[in-house]
């Protein structure tokens, strides 16, 4: 397969002609060639987006028409769901069943924000001045740079594109170099949906090579990013030079807290969903399992028993629970953390080796791994592993659970398992995390705000408020006074 980028409505190669291979994590075979954009391609893509924002038909469309195009796009994603999900699985090794579920859900983002496009209302302000009519309204920023990670390319793109376009911006979208193909194929749907050329541009390439050129480009007004805290920090620094607005969704070290009064069967499934779903390669992974002392041993046994039943294998096979991890770098990083955990004295109760069963394939497989007797000071409990590796930490009482849960630089998500109503209502208020799930885990919706506290990011995606990330507020003053006198005082 040979892919093209989308710039100014044209399917193009990189100006340099360079490409790179996309490797299937399951069989470790290259299966597609992808354009390797350079800074010159970034310039062309930003210029196309800038032109579409200022002079093209896009700024003249009514918000209702923008909404209609977004709904067309949603329909097209729905009718291409199987194809796009297959590309994602080939690119990042995640289960086809997971990617297909995402692809079938993604259209809702385009329908929801398409519906919101013509409901962005301003306000008339009753100012304390005579002869003045004052109002404010929301305006798009202009060109938005949207940068996504490899774990859920088109879902993350929907989080960003749907509100950005509903608000009237134009976009340069850059998927991860580790999983570009679904986004490049998705790019072909914009013309079919009726979007004018240049409204959405898609470039593929390596973050370290073109990231600064994109985020530091003087014509990029807004940046929205999902990825690592390290790259988020870099983007913030570059964007800060020109005081650009940023929305950053970074990683996490989310606590999943199980109290003795929980429904323990549900909680055990919740613990597994938190760490083994997507082979742990999710920003909201419940990678620290906090368990109340009195049930610790029995609960751990339950979790280990379920984890043992998880089947590694071909991500296209509906019977598979654990696919390979996405890249060799990711595999090496996780292996490195397993060594760190052993050296720190964590007690391995499951896994800990590369999957030894040759029957499951040649891919980058990591066995589900569980460490007990982890303390919150260990690196395995503090740093994002992004793999199927669970750290189990004991706690005595609610106060200690809260202390451990909050004792992290991250603040993306948290889980609580309890049947005590008071606790279920009061405890979420004490947790420093942008999302708290109570008796469930890893639920997301286009209708509900999502985003981190602390080092997990800034700004919110999804839900009505998300559209504000792509709008700036303008205040307009009209005077009906007959004279404009005394120019030397404030009015
Ligand atoms: O992330 P990067 P990587 C975490 C996870 C994982 C680690 C590394 O712990 O092990 O990050 O993954 C682009 N300017 N998460 O290397 O580098 C890059 O091309 C602008 C958590 O894949 O952050 C890609 O499109 N962009 C996370 C995107 O940033 C730059 C999901 C993400 O890549 C850039 C993924 C630069 N200077 C990884 N450098 C989550 N929040 O779920 C790179 N990029």
Torsion sign across C-alpha atoms 38, 41, 47, 53: negative
Q: Which atom of ligand 1 lies nearest, measured to the CA of 235?
A: 14
At 108, the pLDDT band (50, 70, 90 cuts) reads very high
In a domain, 426, yes or no: yes
Indicate if 335 and 217 belong to the same structural domain.
Answer: no
Q: Given 88, 177, 181, 283, which residue is catalytic?
A: 283
In a domain, 340, yes or no: yes
Closest-CA residue to 190 (of 308, 287, 76, 295): 76
Indicate if 238 and 340 belong to the same structural domain.
Answer: no
Residue 360 is predicted with a pLDDT of 80
Interval 250-304: pLDDT, tens: 999 999 999 999 999 999 999 999 999 999 999 999 999 999 999 999 999 999 9
Q: What are phi and psi of 7, to 5 degrees?
A: -135, 125
Q: Which of 146, 184, 207 to mutate to test the pocket of ligand 1 (most atoms within 8 A of CB)?
A: 207
Under 8 Å CB-to-CB from 148, ≥6 apart: which residues? Answer: 156, 157, 160, 173, 174, 175, 176, 183, 226, 227
Residue 491 CA to residue 489 CA, distance in Å, equals 6
Indicate if 179 and 137 belong to the same structural domain.
Answer: yes
| Residues framing ligand 1 (Cβ under 6 A) | 147-151, 174, 176-178, 207-208, 211-212, 215, 226-228, 231, 234-235, 249-251, 283, 330, 333, 384, 386
Interval 407-447: pLDDT, tens: 999 999 999 999 999 999 999 999 999 999 999 999 999 99
> Chain centroid to CA 20: how far?
24
In a domain, 487, yes or no: no
Q: What is the number of structural domains in the chain?
A: 2
Residue 273 CA to residue 303 CA, distance in Å, equals 11
Average pLDDT for residues 177-193, to the nearest whole number?
98
Indicate if 245 and 380 belong to the same structural domain.
Answer: no
Indicate if 168 and 31 belong to the same structural domain.
Answer: yes
Indicate if 31 and 81 belong to the same structural domain.
Answer: yes
Q: Whose CA is nearest to atom 39 of ligand 1?
A: 207
Strands 457-458 and 123-125: unpaired
- 301-310: buried (b, 16+ CB within 10 Å) or exposed (e) per residue? ebbbeebeeb
Indicate if 184 and 276 belong to the same structural domain.
Answer: no
Does 181 participate in catalysis according to the annotation?
no
CATH number at residue 313: 3.40.309.10
How many residues are given for the chain?
Answer: 491
Indicate if 329 and 458 belong to the same structural domain.
Answer: no
Residue 305 CA to residue 328 CA, distance in Å, equals 29
CATH number at residue 470: 3.40.605.10
Q: Which atom of ligand 1 lies nearest, measured to the CA of 330?
A: 10
Indicate if 278 and 183 belong to the same structural domain.
Answer: no
At 353, the pLDDT band (50, 70, 90 cuts) reads confident
Closest-CA residue to 336 (of 357, 310, 372, 366): 366
Residue 269 CA to residue 271 CA, distance in Å, equals 5
Closest-CA residue to 420 (of 404, 401, 405, 435): 401
At 50, the pLDDT band (50, 70, 90 cuts) reads very high
Q: Are 184 and 156 in contact (CB under 8 A)?
A: no
Closest-CA residue to 460 (of 448, 474, 472): 448
In a domain, 446, yes or no: no
- Residue-range definition of the domain harbouring residue 245: 5-250+452-475
Average pLDDT for residues 228-238, to the nearest whole number?
97
Q: Are 146 and 161 in contact (CB under 8 A)?
A: yes
Structure tokens belonging to residue 329:
């770098």
Closest-CA residue to 369 (of 342, 401, 344): 342
In a domain, 490, yes or no: no
pLDDT of residue 359 exceeding 90? no
3-state secondary structure of 130: coil
Residue 43 is predicted with a pLDDT of 98
Work out the end-to-end distance of the chain between its first and last CA atoms, rounded to an integer number of angstroms.
Answer: 65
In a domain, 489, yes or no: no
> Chain centroid to CA 34: how far?
22
In a domain, 348, yes or no: yes
Comparing 353 with 297, the larger pLDDT belongs to 297
At 140, the pLDDT band (50, 70, 90 cuts) reads very high
Closest-CA residue to 270 (of 98, 70, 442): 442
Indicate if 211 and 111 belong to the same structural domain.
Answer: yes
Task: Give residue 228 CA to ligand 1 midpoint distance, Å.
Answer: 4
Task: Give residue 150 CA to ligand 1 midpoint distance, Å.
Answer: 8
Q: Are 181 and 91 in contact (CB under 8 A)?
A: yes
User: Which ranges constitute the DSSP H helices of 80-106?
Assistant: 81-92, 96-105
> Chain-wide mean pLDDT for the chain?
97
> Chain centroid to CA 487: how far?
51
Q: Whose CA is nearest to atom 30 of ligand 1?
A: 207
At 355, the pLDDT band (50, 70, 90 cuts) reads low
Residue 358 is predicted with a pLDDT of 72
Residue 352 is predicted with a pLDDT of 87
Q: Given 249, 367, 383, 461, which residue is catalytic?
A: 249
Q: Which atom of ligand 1 lies nearest, measured to the CA of 232?
A: 23
Q: Which residue has the tokens 């986004």?
A: 183
Indicate if 233 and 259 belong to the same structural domain.
Answer: no
Q: Which of 93, 145, 149, 451 to mutate to test the pocket of ligand 1 (most atoms within 8 A of CB)?
A: 149
Residue 65 CA to residue 21 CA, distance in Å, equals 38
In a domain, 483, yes or no: no
Indicate if 171 and 148 belong to the same structural domain.
Answer: yes
Q: Are 187 and 200 in contact (CB under 8 A)?
A: yes
Residue 195 is predicted with a pLDDT of 98
Task: Give residue 227 CA to ligand 1 midpoint distance, Å.
Answer: 4
pLDDT of residue 357 exceeding 80? no
Residue 348 is predicted with a pLDDT of 97
Q: How many C-beta neighbours within 10 Å does residue 448 have?
A: 14
Q: Which atom of ligand 1 lies nearest, measured to the CA of 147?
A: 25
């Amino acid at each position: 397969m040979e892919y093209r980028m989308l710039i100014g409505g044209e399917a193009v190669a990189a100006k340099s002609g360079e490409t790179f291979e996309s490797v299937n994590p399951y069989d470790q075979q290259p299966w597609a060639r992808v354009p390797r954009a350079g800074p010159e391609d970034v310039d062309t893509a930003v210029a196309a987006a800038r032109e579409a924002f200022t002079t093209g038909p896009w700024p003249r469309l009514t918000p209702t028409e923008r909404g209609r195009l977004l709904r067309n796009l949603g329909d097209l994603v729905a009718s291409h769901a199987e194809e796009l999900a297959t590309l994602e699985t080939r690119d990042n090794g995640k289960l086809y069943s997971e990617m297909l579920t995402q692809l079938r859900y993604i259209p809702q983002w385009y329908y929801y924000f398409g519906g919101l496009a013509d409901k962005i209302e301003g306000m008339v302000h009753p100012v304390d001045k005579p002869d003045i009519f004052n109002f404010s309204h929301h305006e798009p920023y202009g060109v938005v740079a949207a940068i996504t990670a490899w774990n859920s390319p088109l879902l993350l793109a929907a989080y960003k594109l749907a509100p950005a376009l509903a608000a009237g911006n134009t976009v340069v979208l850059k998927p991860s170099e580790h999983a570009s193909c679904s986004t490049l194929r998705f790019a072909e749907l914009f013309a079919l949906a009726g979007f004018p050329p240049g409204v959405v541009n898609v470039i593929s390439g390596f973050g370290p090579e073109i990231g600064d050129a994109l985020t530091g480009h003087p014509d990029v007004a807004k940046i929205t990013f999902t990825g690592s805290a390290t790259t988020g920090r870099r983007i913030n620094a570059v964007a800060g030079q020109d005081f650009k607005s940023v929305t950053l969704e970074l990683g996490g070290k989310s606590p999943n807290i199980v109290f003795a009064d929980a429904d323990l069967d549900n909680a055990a499934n919740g613990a597994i969903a938190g760490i083994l779903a997507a082979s742990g390669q999710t920003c909201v992974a419940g990678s620290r399992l906090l368990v109340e002392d009195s049930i610790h041993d029995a609960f751990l046994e339950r979790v280990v028993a379920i984890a043992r039943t998880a089947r590694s294998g071909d991500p296209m096979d509906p019977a598979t629970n654990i696919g390979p991890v996405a890249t060799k770098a990711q595999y090496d990083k996780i292996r490195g953390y397993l060594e760190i955990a052993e050296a720190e004295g964590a007690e391995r109760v499951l896994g800990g080796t590369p999957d030894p069963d040759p029957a499951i394939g040649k891919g980058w497989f990591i066995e589900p791994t569980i460490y007990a007797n982890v303390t919150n000071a260990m690196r395995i409990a503090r740093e994002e592993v992004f793999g199927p590796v669970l750290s189990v930490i004991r706690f005595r009482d609610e106060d200690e659970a809260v202390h451990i849960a909050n004792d992290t630089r991250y603040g993306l998500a948290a889980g609580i398992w309890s049947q005590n109503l008071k606790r279920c209502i009061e405890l979420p208020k004490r947790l420093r995390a942008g999302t708290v799930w109570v008796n469930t885990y890893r639920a997301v919706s286009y209708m509900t705000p999502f985003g981190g506290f602390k080092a997990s990011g800034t700004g919110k995606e999804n839900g009505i408020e998300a559209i504000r990330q792509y709008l700036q507020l303008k205040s307009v003053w009209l005077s009906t006074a007959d004279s404009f006198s005394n120019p030397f005082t404030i009015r």
